[in-house]
A and B are shown apart, each in its own frame.
Chain A
Amino acid sequence: MCLAVPAKIMEIDGVMALVEVDGVRREGNLTFVPEARIGDYVLIHAGFAIQKWEEADVKEFNDIMSGIELPDEDKA
């Protein structure tokens, strides 16, 4: 139930944003991540962004997901 997924912010309107997860667009509330901007990645849980992700983290996540091995230094 505490599942959260990384999503990219496409549009912002006040506290609400349009975010994209796996090509699907949804609403995301940015109250808890006020510093988030269009183009940023955030972790979405129950319709709320709860944490900003750096782009490198999204890449790492995608690499882990697709089972690609990472060079050691990238993991440090």
Chain B
Amino acid sequence: MNVETVIANVRSISETLNRRLVFMEVCGTHTVSAFRTGLRSLLPDNVSLLSGPGCPVCVTPTGYLDQAIAIARQPGTVIATFGDMLRVPGTESALEKERATGADIRMVYSPMDALNMAKAEPEKTVVFLGVGFETTTPTIAWTIKEACEQGLKNYYVLSAHKTIPEAMMALVSAGDVKLDGFLCPGHVSVITGSEAYKPVCAECGIPCVVAGFEAYDMARGIEMLGKQQMEGKAEVEVEYTRSVTAGGNVEAQKLCVDVFDKSDTEWRGFGVIPQSGLSIADKYNDVDAAIKFKGLEVPEAEDHSACRCGDVLRGICLPPDCPMFGKTCTPSDPVGACMVSSEGSCSAYYKYGQ
């Protein structure tokens, strides 16, 4: 089977159902892949893909950036972060601007690089920006445990870790969008296992298919969601069988349970979603940047008043619906987080046209 055959099946499903079908790709990597591979343009007119809240940088709220900026201004502090965070605007500044005026902010590829930095420079306080979903969380958990076991006194993590199924359920229960299925994130599911979406199916009555990232994978995922609609089912299925099992990566899960506690956390566009965050467990307090820098003064968070990132993340509007899209907001001069991250919907729409 090839992509064209699968797309033909999707077309016949949509014709049989004789209505518009809306599927949400939860993951930012899917969003980009659907554009890059041309999949979006192959889909029949009455089948549409809507981007969801699956870009970790995009959903990190402004208040977190403000906190990171305040920490970056402390003498002797190094902020280590994945690259995309640098350009996300805070209320009054951005990490990139702070770096230009002398703050020590370094991009890393892996949280292990940040840990090694702390080891190599014991006179510095290294703070890693712990942003990411289930895929990334275990890698940071590993550095937290390692720092404690090695007795490192200068490595900290500012955790904004989030979990995807809770956001999917919050999105559905807000009732703003009507979805016919979720294309679930491939690499989040490598860790969580496909079982993690069972509550989404059960509570929201929406089919879930975990898909890989090639055009073929995503098309197959859409076909499987369509079939479930035809059969009136709402179940979890896996298309990305080369990576995803029902139970996920147990070693990684165990470590995350040890290092983090579930907590309520704020998502850009959603506000606080109960039990959708991971804060560092008490026994690792010594590594928790939120505790270490508790007294720091941080400005009251404020978003750019006209930026519609929040609505984009909830699938309420598309990037081109934002009056600033492509005009005052572009990837080289972004106003909102969804234009900064290469996985953000606004950036994907801008780059690949619409």
Query: Which chain A residues lie closer than 8 Å to B341 at the CB level?
Result: 1
4 additional A-B residue pairs with CB within 8 Å, beyond A31-B255, A53-B242: A2-B136, A47-B111, A70-B1, A70-B2
28 contacts between A and B (CB under 8 A): A1-B57, A1-B131, A1-B136, A2-B28, A2-B54, A2-B135, A2-B185, A2-B187, A3-B29, A4-B135, A4-B190, A29-B139, A32-B138, A33-B249, A45-B135, A45-B139, A46-B82, A46-B110, A47-B109, A47-B110, A50-B135, A50-B191, A50-B252, A53-B242, A53-B243, A57-B242, A64-B216, A70-B2
Q: Is B321 an interface residue (CB 8 A)?
A: no
Query: Which chain B residues lie closer than 8 Å to A54 at the CB level?
Result: 242
**Contact partner, A46, options B111, B190, B251, B255, Cβ 8 Å:** B111
Q: Is B209 an interface residue (CB 8 A)?
A: no
Residues of A15-46 at the interface with B, using a CB-CB cut-off of 8 Å, are 27, 29, 31-34, 43, 45-46
Which residue, B55, B84, B216, B217, has most C-beta atoms of chain A within 10 A? B216
Query: Which chain B residues lie closer than 8 Å to A1 at the CB level?
Result: 28-29, 55-57, 82, 84, 131-133, 135-136, 341, 343
Contact A43 B139 (CB under 8 A): no
Q: Is A72 an interface residue (CB 8 A)?
A: yes
Chain B residues close to A by CB (< 8 Å): 1-2, 27-29, 54-57, 82, 84, 109-113, 131-133, 135-136, 138-139, 142, 185-188, 190-191, 214, 216-217, 242-243, 249, 251-252, 255, 341, 343
Contact A2 B138 (CB under 8 A): no
CA distance A54 to B132 in the complex (A): 27
Query: Which chain B residues lie closer than 8 Å to A65 at the CB level?
Result: 214
Query: Which chain A residues lie closer than 8 Å to B113 at the CB level?
Result: 47
Report the minimum CB–CB distance from A11 to chain B (whole Å).
17
Assuming the contacts A57-B242, A69-B2, asked whether A43 and B190 have C-beta atoms less than 8 A apart, the reply is yes
CA distance A12 to B317 in the complex (A): 48
Contact B251 A32 (CB under 8 A): yes
Report the minimum CB–CB distance from B322 to chain A (whole Å).
22
Contact A45 B136 (CB under 8 A): yes
CA distance A63 to B204 in the complex (A): 36
Assuming the contacts A50-B135, A64-B214, A64-B217, asked whether A32 and B249 have C-beta atoms less than 8 A apart, the reply is yes
Query: Which chain B residues lie closer than 8 Å to A2 at the CB level?
Result: 27-29, 54, 56, 132-133, 135-136, 185-188
Query: Which chain B residues lie closer than 8 Å to A43 at the CB level?
Result: 187, 190, 243
Report the minimum CB–CB distance from A19 to chain B (whole Å).
12
Contact B242 A45 (CB under 8 A): no
CA distance A34 to B1 in the complex (A): 35
Query: Which chain B residues lie closer than 8 Å to A3 at the CB level?
Result: 29, 187
CA distance A3 to B251 in the complex (A): 20
Write the chain A residue with the least CB distance to B248.
A51
Query: Which chain A residues lie closer than 8 Å to B214 at the CB level?
Result: 61, 64-65
Query: Which chain A residues lie closer than 8 Å to B133 at the CB level?
Result: 1-2
CA distance A46 to B190 in the complex (A): 14
CA distance A60 to B57 in the complex (A): 31
CA distance A29 to B255 in the complex (A): 14
**Contact partner, B252, options A4, A32, A57, Cβ 8 Å:** A32
Write the chain B residue with the least CB distance to A34.
B251
Report the minimum CB–CB distance from B123 to chain A (whole Å).
25
Report the minimum CB–CB distance from A35 to chain B (whole Å).
10
